[in-house]
């Protein structure tokens, strides 16, 4: 299972890695860099799953891997 990076939208600091697999999943994290509270929603779980399938089938490149 690949983990998605969740970064602060203000300063770009890595907050955590994980998966929000369900539409009702919510993650709230306080950035230790700038102090802002970031909220991430699992509503894009279907998009992430579809993207993973397209990468696996070779239709789109995997831009998460360097």
Cα 6 versus chain centre, distance: 5
What's the domain count of the chain?
Answer: 1
Assigned token pair, 18: 């994980």
Give the pLDDT confidence score for residue 25 in this predicted structure.
Answer: 85
Question: How many Å apart are CA 66 and CA 43, to the nearest integer?
Answer: 26
pLDDT of residue 66: 44
- Is 63 contained in some domain? no
Q: Rounded CA gap, 45 and 15, in Å?
A: 19
The answer as to whether 51 is a domain residue is yes
40 assigned to some structural domain:
yes
Q: What is the C-alpha separation between 51 and 20, in angstroms, rounded?
A: 14
Residue-number span of the structural domain to which 30 is assigned: 4-56
- Per-residue confidence of the chain (66 residues) as pLDDT tens digits? 688 899 998 999 999 999 887 777 889 999 999 999 988 888 666 676 777 788 888 888 877 654
Please report whether residue 12 resides in a domain: yes
Residue 24 domain-assigned (yes or no): yes
Check: CB of residue 52 under 8 Å from CB of residue 60. Answer: no
């Amino acid at each position: 299972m690949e983990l998605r990076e969740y970064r602060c939208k203000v300063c770009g600091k890595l907050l955590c890695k994980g998966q929000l697999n369900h539409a009702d999943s919510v993650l709230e994290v306080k950035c230790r860099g700038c102090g802002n509270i970031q909220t991430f929603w699992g509503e894009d779980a279907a998009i992430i799953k579809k993207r993973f399938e397209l990468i696996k089938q070779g239709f789109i490149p995997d831009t998460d891997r360097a």
